[in-house]
Amino acid sequence: MADLNIPNLNIKSDKYIFKKKLNLRRKSKRRLFTESFFLFILSVLLVFINYLIPNKNLLLQNLPSTFNKSFLLLIDLFLYLYEIFLVIFIFVSSFTALIFMIGSVNRLLRVFKRKSKRIVYR
């Protein structure tokens, strides 16, 4: 009875999983015209903004050196971060070692005090 495999009729096939979500209608001519108009306005705006940027040629000529300088600065940043993390590790490890030493001395003192005060009754 446990081997009986009843098919579930509510599960749809995977090949039809997105069929209902597709938009099968075509866009109207008016909607296509408004979308193309907005795209054209946006492109004109971007061209105008590019026109307003001064010294475009100089910026494009200096681009490789700018990339080189920024890459060197990035390497310096990672080297400085390495040093900063190393110093932080030194402080944290020193503080932890100090706490461990104080704890070990405290336990040793407790052990020695306990043995000296203990009286054995037989």
pLDDT at 110: 85
Is 8 within a domain? Answer: no
Is 122 within a domain? Answer: no
Q: Which pLDDT band holds residue 113 (cuts at 50, 70, 90)? A: confident
Q: What is the pLDDT of residues 43-98, one digit of tens each?
A: 999 999 999 999 999 999 999 999 999 999 999 999 899 999 999 999 999 999 99
Residue range of the domain that includes 85: 15-117
Is 2 within a domain? Answer: no
DSSP 81: H
CA angle 21, 26, 28 (to 5 degrees): 130
Is 5 within a domain? Answer: no
Q: What is the pLDDT of residues 2-45, one digit of tens each?
A: 666 766 666 656 666 666 666 667 888 888 999 999 999 999 99
Regarding pTM above 0.85, the answer is: no
Is 52 within a domain? Answer: yes
pLDDT at 116: 54
- Per-residue 3-state assignment (H helix, E strand, C coil) for the chain: CCCCCCCCCCCCCHHHCCHHHCCCCCCCHHHHHHHHHHHHHHHHHHHHHHHHCCCHHHHHHCHHHHHHHHHHHHHHHHHHHHHHHHHHHHHHHHHHHHHHHHHHHHHHHHHHHHHHHCCCCC
Report the domain count for the chain. 1
pLDDT at 112: 81
